[in-house]
Amino acid sequence: MDEKDILSLLPYEHPFLFVDELLEVHEEGTKGAFTFEENLDFYKGHFKDNPITPGVILTECCAQIGLVCLGIYLLQEESLSPGNIQIGMSSSEMEFLKPVFPGERVTVVSNKMYYRFHKLKCKVKMFDAQNNLICKGTLAGMLKVKTDE
């Protein structure tokens, strides 16, 4: 399974897709990128006259690239198709170090801590275009393939 296959299986679409490009994926982690376009709706009210990307959106971007893309890769031995992957985040602990402004491109790197019984836990880091650390944390979730039974 390659990066394009994984992207085609993501259960998100615009405006809630926060993965532009999956740069690498392997058993131990992922690396991907996303650009926060200036016209995204959440910038209209966060914050007035000084838009900043909300922390919850940064967390979601880290989860989509670092947890979900890796989870799909790890599930590749099962019969995957669009719409049959069930995902639920079970925990998140993030530390935010610098803001992300409209128009910025970020890169997310994840490293698997463990994957067992369909629970995946990862360390994630987000960097800006100058390779400055934006946020970091630990994310965990459950991933399962829905069967017709």
In angstroms, the CA 66 to CA 96 distance is 16
Domain ranges, residue 122? 3-145
Give whole-number Cα distances, 73 to 77, 115, 116, 144, in Å. 9, 12, 14, 12
Considering the chain, what percentage of its residues have pLDDT values greater than 90? 83
Predicted pLDDT at 79: 79
Tell me the pLDDT of the chain averaged across its residues: 94
Q: What is the pLDDT of residues 5-63, one digit of tens each?
A: 999 999 999 999 999 999 999 999 999 999 999 999 999 988 888 999 999 999 999 99
Tell me if the bond preceding 15 is cis, omega within 30° of 0.
Answer: yes
pTM confidence score: 0.94
Is 17:64 a contact under the CB 8 Å cutoff?
yes
Check residues 74 and 149 and name the one with the higher pLDDT.
Answer: 74
Give the confidence band of 123 by pLDDT, cuts at 50, 70, 90: very high
Q: Count of domains in the chain? A: 1
According to DSSP H, which parts of the chain are helical? 3-9, 55-62, 69-74
* CATH code of the domain containing 130: 3.10.129.10
| Pairing between β-strand 21-26 and β-strand 105-116 as defined by DSSP bridges | unpaired
pLDDT at 144: 87
Choose, from 14, 26, 46, 118, the residue flagged as catalytic: 46
Q: What is the pLDDT of residue 110?
A: 98
Q: In this structure, are residues 68 and 139 in contact, taking their beta carbons and an 8 Å threshold?
A: no
**For residue 99, which of 141, 139, 57 has the smallest C-alpha distance?**
57
46 is catalytic: yes
Q: How would DSSP label each residue in 111-130?
A: EEEEEETTEEEEEEEEE-TT
B/e letters for 4-24, b = 16+ CB within 10 Å, e = fewer, are eebbebbeeeeeeebbeebee
Burial class (CB in 10 A: 0-12, 13-18, 19+), 93: exposed
Q: What Cα–Cα distance (Å) separates residue 52 from each residue in 49, 102, 115, 137?
A: 10, 7, 33, 20
Confidence grade of residue 130 (pLDDT, cut at 50, 70, 90): very high
